[in-house]
């Protein structure tokens, strides 16, 4: 077994703490996740308890060995990248769902529990986490805390920060920080646990989380609608939110090129569409029954059809058809089959400003290079857009700064964010310095210096 794993193993044996350790050879047989360099360290520790994690971290702090926290490795910005000389600290074995309390409507889980497992555990009680995203099968609760994940329901329930009631974590000096509050109201000084939310592993290693649960609505109705622009989509969204008998569960907008290519790849029947389209809105609502939800959706669409300028629509006639609708939006990996290495971005724009931003984005990209364009899709109700730049030269090293400038220009002035839900990691380091709030950066660095003076936790990443 490689160094420093041998030294760590000897230390753990000496103090009588059991932690699974994996070296480079064993890691080479595992999938690294979204980034090929996630296993660059060649050494991984997999504790089963907070105490085991604390033993590893204490040794790393004493030995000056950097620690890279990892969850499901589904991050898209390189936040889990590691390199030789570091030790990966994985939540892979922290998989206990310790409590589902249907009265308090909370769950207490270890950080390595996936979102899908929590959803499945809460469902028999008629409950669900108030957050959902496409990577639900692999994204872990600890990772979602560390990146302040957003997803489909953020427009209604907020992001991960708003779903977290309590956190247990191991700090960079090996101390276990435990604030496993199970109530919403806790006005007892600064809420220190919130420092760990969105910190991308810079301030500590999350081991347990108290998650707020919401009512699970399984009676759904789903539709695809041809809309002329984002304002029209928001008109539909606002109308559905005003229908008392139903709850809006999702509102996803796909601009023309993304939808057409996704439909082609997924062999989706387009006969319901007539003429040219600008964008497609996917909406889903819930009600007391599938029949009631479907009827209410059809009535609502009829009422708003002319006002929103809808030019076509189809309501799912079965659960299987609804799933096919969602696959068009969520199964976006086709982008990288058609356009390998397409630069991808994740931004937030105030919803009312989305149309103007997308129009000027296309103009700015065209000025960078002839034929450059972008797939645009995302969570329209909260203005979170996912962008993949395509065309000759989109991924050229010489165009990187210009492409990023085209994407990020004006976002801060609009009151948006250069990173909506994917974090900063290594991929958005330049954007963090160019477009991040300087006072916020300074405070983050001061907190980092206080909690991690040796700078061993997830080095080279936010807050840098």
pLDDT in tens, the chain (464 residues): 477 788 999 999 999 999 999 999 999 999 999 999 999 999 999 999 999 999 999 999 999 999 999 999 999 999 999 999 999 999 999 999 999 999 999 999 999 999 999 999 999 999 999 999 999 999 999 999 999 999 999 999 999 999 999 999 999 999 999 999 999 999 989 999 999 999 999 999 999 999 999 999 999 999 999 999 999 999 999 999 999 999 999 999 999 999 999 999 999 999 899 888 999 999 999 999 999 999 999 999 999 999 999 999 999 999 999 999 999 999 999 999 999 999 999 999 999 999 999 999 999 999 999 899 999 999 999 999 999 999 999 999 999 999 999 999 999 999 999 999 999 999 999 999 999 999 999 999 999 999 999 999 999 998 87
Query: Is the bond into 4 cis (omega within 30 degrees of 0)?
Result: yes
The CA radius of gyration of the chain, in Å to the nearest whole number, is 23
- What per-residue confidence (pLDDT) applies to 3? 75
What does the alpha-carbon distance between residue 140 and residue 189 come to, in Å, rounded to a whole number? 29
What does the alpha-carbon distance between residue 381 and residue 404 come to, in Å, rounded to a whole number? 24
What does the alpha-carbon distance between residue 150 and residue 208 come to, in Å, rounded to a whole number? 19
Tell me the β-bridge partners of 376.
387
Pairing of strands 247-255, 279-286: antiparallel
Long-range contacts of range 449-455, CB-CB < 8 Å, 24 or more positions apart? Answer: 451/171, 451/172, 451/203, 451/204, 452/171, 452/172, 452/202, 452/203, 454/61, 454/64, 454/172
Which has the closest alpha carbon to 200: 144, 156, 248?
144
What does the alpha-carbon distance between residue 412 and residue 349 come to, in Å, rounded to a whole number? 9
Structure tokens at 138: 């692999």
On the 0-12 / 13-18 / 19+ scale of CB atoms within 10 A, 296 is buried
Tell me the β-bridge partners of 140.
114
Strand order in the sheet with 220-227: 312-315, 220-227, 279-286, 247-255, 373-379, 384-390, 344-348
* Residue the block writes with tokens 């703490």: 17
- What per-residue confidence (pLDDT) applies to 1? 47
Tell me the β-bridge partners of 227.
279
What does the alpha-carbon distance between residue 146 and residue 69 come to, in Å, rounded to a whole number? 10
């Amino acid at each position: 077994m490689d160094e420093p794993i041998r030294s760590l193993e000897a230390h753990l044996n000496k103090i009588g703490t059991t932690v699974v350790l994996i070296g480079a050879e064993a890691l080479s047989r595992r999938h690294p996740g979204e980034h090929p360099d996630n296993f660059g360290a060649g050494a991984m520790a997999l504790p089963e308890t907070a105490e085991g994690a604390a033993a590893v971290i204490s040794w790393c702090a004493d030995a000056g060995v950097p620690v890279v926290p990892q969850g499901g490795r589904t991050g898209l910005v390189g936040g889990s990248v590691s390199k030789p000389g570091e030790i990966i600290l994985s939540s892979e074995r922290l998989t206990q769902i310790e409590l589902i309390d249907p009265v308090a409507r909370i769950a207490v889980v270890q950080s390595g529990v996936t979102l899908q497992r929590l959803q499945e555990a809460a469902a028999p009680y008629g409950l669900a986490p108030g957050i959902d995203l496409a990577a639900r099968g692999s994204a872990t609760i600890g990772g979602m805390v560390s990146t302040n994940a957003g997803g489909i329901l953020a427009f209604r329930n907020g992001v991960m920060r708003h779903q977290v009631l309590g956190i247990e974590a191991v700090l960079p000096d090996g101390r276990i920080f435990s604030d496993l509050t199970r109530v919403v109201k806790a006005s007892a000084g600064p809420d220190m646990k919130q420092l760990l939310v969105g910190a991308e592993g810079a301030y500590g290693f999350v081991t347990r989380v108290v998650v707020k649960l919401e009512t699970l609505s399984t009676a759904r109705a789903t539709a695809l609608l041809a809309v002329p622009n984002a304002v029209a989509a928001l008109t539909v969204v606002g109308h559905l939110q005003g229908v008392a008998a139903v709850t809006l569960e999702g509102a996803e907008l796909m601009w023309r090129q993304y939808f057409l290519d996704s439909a082609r790849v997924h062999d989706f029947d387009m006969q319901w569409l007539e003429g040219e389209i600008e964008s497609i809105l996917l909406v889903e609502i819930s009600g007391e029954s599938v029949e009631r939800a479907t009827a209410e959706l059809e009535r609502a669409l009829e009422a708003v059809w002319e006002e929103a300028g809808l030019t076509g629509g189809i309501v799912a006639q079965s659960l299987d058809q609804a799933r096919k609708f969602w696959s068009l939006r969520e199964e976006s990996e086709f982008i990288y089959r058609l356009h390998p290495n397409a630069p991808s971005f994740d931004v937030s724009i105030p919803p009312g400003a989305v149309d103007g931003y997308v129009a000027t984005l296309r103009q700015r990209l065209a000025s960078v290079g002839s034929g450059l364009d972008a797939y645009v899709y995302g969570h329209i109700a909260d203005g979170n857009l996912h962008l993949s730049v395509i065309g000759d030269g989109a991924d050229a090293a010489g165009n990187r700064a210009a492409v990023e400038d085209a994407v990020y220009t004006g976002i801060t002035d609009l009151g948006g964010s250069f990173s909506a839900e994917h974090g900063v990691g290594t991929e958005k380091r330049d954007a963090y310095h160019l477009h991040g709030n300087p006072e916020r950066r300074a405070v983050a660095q001061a907190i980092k210096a206080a909690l991690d003076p040796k700078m061993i936790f997830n080095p080279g990443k936010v807050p840098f």
